[in-house]
Structures are given as structure tokens and as C-alpha cells.
Amino acid sequence: MESEILKIEKFYAFFGKNRVLKDVTLSIPEYKVTAIMGPSGCGKTTLIRCINRMHELTPEARIEGSIRLNDQDIYGMNPIILRRKIGMVFQRPNPFPTMSIFDNVIAGYKLNGIKVGKTELNGIVERSLQKAALWNEVKDDLFKKGTFLSGGQQQRLCIARALAMNPEILLLDEPTSALDPKATAFIEELIVELKKSVTILMVTHNTAQAAKTANYTAFMYLGDLIEFGKTSKLFTVPDDKRTEEYLTGRGEFVED
């Protein structure tokens, strides 16, 4: 078994009286891609929002149970420190519209008041854009607005922005759902490459994407974790009939 970086135990999440996650227990292996799949409203996005403590920003949101990062309870950590360790990239590319490409990459440093010298900042920007496979495309335009880039480039800029903080985990919430097939394929290749240096936890509706990129896959339904295991096994001989029905498109799944 690979070494685990994140352990979720007996975890529940609520919005007021509405329970959206029920008794989820899951261990995330380090330097692997783990996909979280399931129909809309099954709790996938809520789970990753709990992992970087964005869930609690919603009024009446609360949790029960524990999530531990390298054996440290994330709910005992300063959320700002936690979000440096666990970066997040959202469904739609969201570069800061008033900022240049350069400033977008180092936004985390500026927003957190982290003082870094100019030479070091230049290095962080170049390294992060290299990791996001964007450097060669933008190196001559670093001081243009990030919004002049294509959708796929903007999403890679958002990945570079998250990577600039040297996170231990990168959360991706359906990172290609707003992109065309060519940009999607590029991001999928990038995800496979990135796992060499960061653990990736990705929400996706796209079964082909999970099959192509993920080492492990979790299947969720109505707030329950139905099944979790190696992608190769889960996609070929799942233990639960609901997993098989979802993957083959045969089941009727209620959307919560």
C-alpha cells in the first residue's frame, strides 16, 4: 500500500439540517491521482470543499468526523495555512481579471502578505508555469492580463497559481468541464505528469477521464461513499452493482 497523505474518517457534512455527506471514510495515497465520481448532487464537490475548509464559509454549514493531513487534524489548523498546503482549482477558469499573468501566479503570496524578493518571485513564476506546461506559451507576455488567454490556457494558469504555493495536495473540481476536447486532453496529460510532485484529488463526471488519469477512484451516491479502489479494478470488476450501473450508464440515479 502506498503511503497515505490524507485520511478521512467517519465524516459527515451538513447544510443546516440537510445532510450531504454520510459516514465517509477514505484514505488518499500520496503522489497518485484519485478521482471522485458520481451523479450530480452526490456530495463530490462538498467533500473536496471540506478538505480545504471552504465548506464552513457557507452559512449553517457544519461537519462531524475528522480529516487528517499527514496525521494532523485539518480542523485544528489555521485555514490560511491549510489552504497553502491544499490548493484548489475550480470548474471554470478564474484568473484574477485585473492581474497580469505574472501577478496571477504569485497572487497567493501577495494575498497572504508573504514577502519574497524579486529574483525569487521570478523563479516561482517560471517554475510554476513550467509545471503547468504554460511557460513556453506565455513567457513573452507575462505582464499581459491573464484573461487574454484561451480557456485551456486560463485553466493551466489557475493550476500554476495553485502550484506556486508548493501545496502537498491539489484539489481539482471538474477542471475540464468548461473546456473543449483539445484543451481537455492537454489538461489530462498535465494531471498525469503533475502527480510526480503533488498528490491530486479530482472530482469528475467524465468516466473516460477517470479511467485515463486516475490511479484510484471513489464512487459516491447520495452522500455515501459506495466504493473506493484502484481504478483498473473498479472499472472492470466493481464490488457494488450501483458502481457498475453508473459506469455503464445503465442505472437510474436520483439527483439529490
Q: What is the pLDDT of residues 60-119, one digit of tens each?
A: 999 999 999 999 999 999 999 999 999 999 999 999 999 999 999 999 998 888 899 999
Could you tell me which of 33, 14, 39, 15 has the C-alpha nearest to residue 24?
14
Number of domains present in the structure of the chain: 1
193 domain residue, yes or no: yes
254 domain residue, yes or no: no
Cβ–Cβ contacts within 10 Å for residue 113, how many?
7
Which pTM value belongs to this model?
0.94
255 domain residue, yes or no: no
Express as a percent the part of the chain with pLDDT over 70: 98
Whether the Cβ atoms of residue 35 and residue 217 lie closer than 8 Å to each other: yes
69 domain residue, yes or no: yes
Mean pLDDT of 185-209: 95
253 domain residue, yes or no: no
113 domain residue, yes or no: yes
Instruction: State the pLDDT confidence band at 240, using cuts at 50, 70 and 90.
Output: very high
Which structural domain, as residue segments, surrounds residue 240?
4-248
CATH of the domain at 96: 3.40.50.300
